Amino acid sequence: MLQNTDLSNPELHVNDGPLAPSDVTLLRQSRADEPLEELRHRYHNEGYLFIKGLLPRADVLKAREQYFSMIERSSVLKPGSNPVDGIFDPEKDKADFAGIGANAASASSRPGGGTNSASFVDLALSAHYAPCVGADRVYVNLEGGGLIYLEHGDKLDQQFEDDFAKEAAVAGLSEEERKNSFNRNMMTTGFLADGPAGFARQHNSRWLLTAYEACDVVFHKPHMIHASSINQGPESRIRLGTDLRFVNASRPYDS
């Protein structure tokens, strides 16, 4: 089933401003029941696979509910709301609840200056050691933001590395020196750039996006360039996601 997503909506924003309709296109949908060889070819050719409805929806929502129930004591949620909805309390300062890993604070400090900051960080971190956590992202519309992928981003990032390797070889750098130099060549945040809109235009590309739902999964190659759009959902629904990399399926990892 193809997704009916309208990309003419101008209210799609990233760090450096709005994304115009010409800046975006839809992620290509795949189904889990398609031939495996076709899925593998698509993954290697396009750098990603977007599988609709792969996970049991009830399991995803249960994990989401348990996660937000654990951090509810930090006062991040709107009073009286259901934890599974993850509604941010509009009376609170968002700066006091910066996303873990969002580079809003240094690695050794807590975000924000309010009294809830320390509690929120401690509870959010403890949730990652609890057996209940394992939610995929739960988005109901484009305004809610979500993971976006650069069209042909896999090939572009490999080109970046190949070009740098050639320059390093000419400079006579050792393998270890090359790796260290490449890492230093990135921004201090580890990002390629801090402006997704400008980055795509600079490289004559577009961002691939969609309206994610609970139970959707995206598999992407290590070199696939990706970013996130800004959550502007009118319901103040908190975006929750997880990255799965190398996971031992026999262990109760929370991912």
- Inter-axis angle of helices 153-170 and 175-185, nearest 10: 130
**What is the average per-residue pLDDT within 17-29?**
91
| Burial label, 171 (beta-carbon count in 10 A; 0-12, 13-18, 19+) | exposed
In the prediction, which pLDDT does 45 show?
Answer: 95
Global pTM exceeds 0.75:
no
Tens digits of residue pLDDT in 208-245: 999 888 889 999 998 899 888 887 777 888 888 777 76
**Biggest distance spanned by C-alpha atoms of the chain:** 63
CB-CB contact of 5 with 188 (8 Å): no
Tens digits of residue pLDDT in 118-165: 554 554 444 443 333 222 223 335 666 788 999 999 999 888 888 888
- Cα–Cα distance, 195 to 187 (Å, whole number): 12
Q: Which amino acid is at 136?
A: D
